[in-house]
Chains A and B, each alone.
Chain A
Amino acid sequence: MEELGKIHQLIIPLGGHAITLNLEVILMTWIVIGFLCLFGRLTTRRRHIFPRSFQIAGELFVSVFYKLTGDALGEEHVEKYGPLICALFMFLMLSNWLGILPHLEEPTKDLNTPFALGLMGFVIAHWAGIRSKGFKAYAKEYFQPMFFMMPLNLIGELAKVVSISFRLFGNIMGGSIIILVVSHLTYSVLLPPLLNAFFGLFVGTIQAFVFTMLTVVYISVQVQ
């Protein structure tokens, strides 16, 4: 039970402030990035008009997510946001799946990872909104329906970042805690693998998809 809440940290003092690096999370993130690079290399290595196994997987993946992006944002934005959405989903799915391997952990279990990704989506969505509507029209939306609603609208927008990142964090963290506690309580060979399959593969995929779809939706609300 001691593993709960124990993090290896590297603290670097820098000009009066301490920069804290969670080493395990960074390592796990790099492992995910390594897997993704490998996947990208395999899918594009021998490109051919008649696709082979890996190329089929890659093309299927990209076409599905480009279609999702096109449905939500309109065809004119697919080229711009498609790669982002694809990469976001692949990274999150692989991150959520990483915990099923022994000795590895989900980088999304640390709040910093989902929060950074949520913040990224927030900035991209609002930048897209300013770009497509112009700053004046963009700013005017905050004063709807009455001018004094501005602070509440602002908090509502900021709360979106909180909700999108805590949703992923809560699900992955809750799942891994349940697996840990049940494995400690039962010593059974059947239950922990089943729980791993449910929380790691099933819930992990759903939550990665939800996070990606919400990012698309936030962009689409701003663009249209």
Chain B
Amino acid sequence: MAIEGADLVKAAAFLGAGISMGLGAIGPGVGEGMVAAKACEAIGRNPKEAGLLTRTMLVGQAVSESTGIYSLVIALLLLFVV
């Protein structure tokens, strides 16, 4: 079975998109979980500041999620643009 060049490029782009988003999701997932665990600990220690701690947690998670969003952007670029 002969495989054409364009077909191979497309296949590589698909594989790249899958691996980019898949592996890119591991880091933010674990990192945001750590943030949430520490936020729970902080609220357990000092429940009065729950509102402030929730906001801090969300901002921290939003920042650590940005690498996941970069992966998403790269995956979508590989799928639709390349």
What is the interface of chain A, defined by CB distance below 8 A to chain B? 71-72, 152, 155-156, 159, 217, 220-221, 224
Contacts and interface: CB of A to CB of B under 8 A. Distances in A.
21 contacts: A71-B50, A71-B51, A72-B51, A72-B54, A152-B66, A152-B69, A152-B70, A152-B73, A155-B69, A155-B73, A156-B62, A156-B65, A156-B66, A156-B69, A159-B72, A217-B54, A217-B58, A220-B55, A221-B55, A221-B58, A224-B55
A72 B55 CA distance: 9
Given A71-B50, A71-B51, A72-B51, A155 B58 contact: no
A217 B51 CA distance: 11
Nearest to A159: B69
Contacts of B51: 71-72
Q: Is the interface of A mostly helix, strand, loop or mixed?
A: helix
Interface string B61-75: 010011001101100
Interface in B41-82: 50-51, 54-55, 58, 62, 65-66, 69-70, 72-73
A52 to B, nearest CB: 34
Nearest to A162: B72
A162 to B, nearest CB: 9
Contacts of B73: 152, 155
B78 to A, nearest CB: 15
Contacts of B55: 220-221, 224
Given A152-B69, A159-B69, 14 more contacts: A71-B50, A72-B51, A72-B54, A152-B70, A152-B73, A155-B69, A155-B72, A155-B73, A156-B66, A156-B69, A217-B58, A220-B55, A221-B55, A224-B55
Contacts of A156: 62, 65-66, 69
Nearest to A145: B63
